[in-house]
Amino acid sequence: MNRGGGGLLRAVLGIAISVASLWFVLRGVDFASVGAILRTAVPAWILATVLLQVVDVLFRTARWQQLVAPIKWIRFTSMLAYLLIGYLANNILPARLGELVRSHYLGDREAVSRASALGTVVVERVVDTAVVVTIGAIAIFVLHVRGVVASAVLVGLAVTGLLVVGLAIGIVAHRLPGADRIIAMAERRPRIAEVARRLHDGLAVAGRPRTLTAAVGLSVAAWAASLLAVATAGQALRIELTIGEAALLSAGVALATAIPSGPGYLGTFELAFVTIGTAIGLSKDEALALGLLVHVTILVLTSVGGAIAFLRLGWNRSRAEVAEVARGLVDDEGTADV
């Protein structure tokens, strides 16, 4: 199957997952009750929720900046713009295709290989998953949660282990037995060999202890802001959540939305909130109302921010900008980056 066909299949599968998730969520929901709960929302607490979500995005920007730094140091404001455009794309496109979009922007605007940029995004996803699963595991232990929620977190632990092993293999693949033979075969197709080398450059940032430590620390800070945002959203709806409950909701939603789904994680986001919310004692209507409030504020924040960044940057650089970057590379290094 060609790459375009694979992308279409992934998009169709993602939309199907969203539709199925919505069907499960909306069964037996009292929409009048959900609407009544949302109408009681306290504006000041909603504002606090949005501010904490802004802090979350800023920490995630700093994390990506640190992961890209071994390849090239990029201004924080530029990284923020690329990240927000990627989030906007995730809100519009299915199957988390926004990760490819932000890799395109980083490569196009900063003269960094897109494959290397994508490699840093892969590392970011592995770090994020590891932190999220750890938070979720601690939360289910503290809250003594059982059933499907606990099972999902345990599966997440297993998947995280596989991701870490896969990342380690990707970093040291060129040293494994038989690697010389594979490299020799790849060299017959220079373009493929170059892309593989650049992707490895991106993955290799995980092999730098200082970079990896910074990424983990910033991930913890980002998720602290995220779980506090869930807690303040609960306050907005007069739903009292403990830190442990807010942490479990945040972690569970992150794991659910890691599955490729429709645009904006529609369906999977709400399903996670309802499943976990009912497990910690909320009614289905309360859990859905809380999930909708958190989801809508995230979508509005990232869509508005992404739209502003997109209007400022456009899709591709102008020829003048490309020439300027090329001149700068020649002046700094004596050669242009591939």
For residue 101, pLDDT over 80 is answered with yes
C-alpha R_g of the chain = 21
Give 42's pLDDT tier (boundaries 50, 70, 90): very high
105, pLDDT greater than 90: yes
* pLDDT exceeds cutoff 80 at 31: yes
pLDDT at 319 over 80: no
Give the DSSP letter string of 27-57.
Answer: TT--HHHHHHHHHT--HHHHHHHHHHHHHHH
pLDDT of residue 333: 40
Task: Please write the tens of the pLDDT for every residue from 4-16.
Answer: 555 677 678 878 8
Residue 235, pLDDT > 50, answer yes
Please, which pLDDT band fits residue 181 given cuts at 50, 70 and 90? low
The pLDDT value recorded for residue 283 is 95
Average pLDDT estimate for 200-210: 88
Name the nearest CA neighbour of 301 among 127, 97, 83, 101: 83
Task: Output the average pLDDT for the chain.
Answer: 84
Least confident of 22-36, 173-187, 212-226, 293-307: 173-187
Look up residue 257 and give its two tokens: 């939305």
- Global confidence as pTM: 0.86
Residue 65's pLDDT band (cuts 50, 70, 90): very high
pLDDT exceeds cutoff 60 at 190: no
User: pLDDT > 70: what percent of the chain?
Assistant: 77
Question: Packing angle between helix 268-279 and helix 148-172, nearest 10 degrees?
Answer: 130
The C-alpha atoms of residue 112 and residue 79 are separated, in whole angstroms, by 13
pLDDT at 184 over 90: no
